[in-house]
């Protein structure tokens, strides 16, 4: 796998010594797998299960997914943080568990509905749950801010598809 072309520095770096590109365009011409890094991309993990949060964060770090990963153990905690300053605190990606005590993932999405325009432009929410209920997958599609439904545990393949969907992989 070749990681290359930081948006701010158009230089291709090959882990296996295959080639070094002098620009983003030449990297595309060589056909290498291009990963674009966004400056200070922020990701939230909202999950009450500390082991699941730990594993999700580990996979995200291993796949160099985000510059900043913030984990919340409750939907209320994350909602409070977001409400402090909606413009600066909105992450690019949220991984949201559905089954949590007090406020579940559906209630979190409902609480965000007044801000859905801001969120749908700037943030992609991925449901990350142990549920395999097809009715929940259908319900997730009703929320424009929800971009995907992932059954735990998250894998490298999930991250690759998410990167593609977000335009982080050319």
Considering the domain architecture, whether residues 100 and 121 belong to the same structural domain is answered as yes
Considering the domain architecture, whether residues 59 and 33 belong to the same structural domain is answered as no
> Which residue blocks in 85-154 are alpha helix, DSSP H?
86-89, 105-112, 116-122, 134-140
Strands (E), 21-169: 42-46, 68-72, 93-96, 124-129, 146-151
Mean pLDDT, the chain, integer: 79
Considering the domain architecture, whether residues 51 and 77 belong to the same structural domain is answered as yes
Considering the domain architecture, whether residues 47 and 33 belong to the same structural domain is answered as no
d(Cα 153, Cα 81) in Å, to the nearest integer?
A: 26
Q: Which residues contact 81 (CB under 8 A, 6 or more apart)?
A: 70, 72, 89
Could you tell me the CATH number of the domain that includes residue 75?
3.40.50.2300
Q: What is the pTM of this model?
A: 0.76
The string of pLDDT tens digits covering residues 66-90 is 989 999 999 999 999 998 887 788 9
């Amino acid at each position: 796998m070749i990681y290359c072309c930081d948006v701010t520095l158009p230089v291709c770096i090959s882990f296996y010594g295959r080639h070094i590109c002098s620009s983003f365009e030449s990297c595309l011409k060589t056909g290498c797998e291009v990963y674009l890094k966004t400056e200070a991309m922020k990701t939230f993990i909202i999950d009450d299960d500390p082991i699941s949060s730990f594993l999700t964060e580990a996979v995200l770090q291993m796949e160099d997914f985000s510059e900043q990963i913030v984990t919340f153990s409750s939907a209320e905690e994350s909602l409070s943080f977001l409400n402090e300053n909606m413009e600066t605190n909105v992450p690019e990606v949220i991984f949201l568990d559905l089954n949590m005590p007090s406020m579940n993932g559906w209630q979190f999405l409902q609480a965000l509905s007044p801000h859905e325009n801001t969120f749908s432009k700037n943030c992609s929410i991925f449901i990350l749950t142990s549920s395999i209920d097809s009715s929940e997958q259908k319900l997730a599609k009703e929320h424009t801010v929800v971009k995907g439904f992932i059954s735990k545990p998250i894998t490298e393949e999930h991250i690759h598809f998410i990167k593609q969907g977000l335009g982080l992989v050319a």
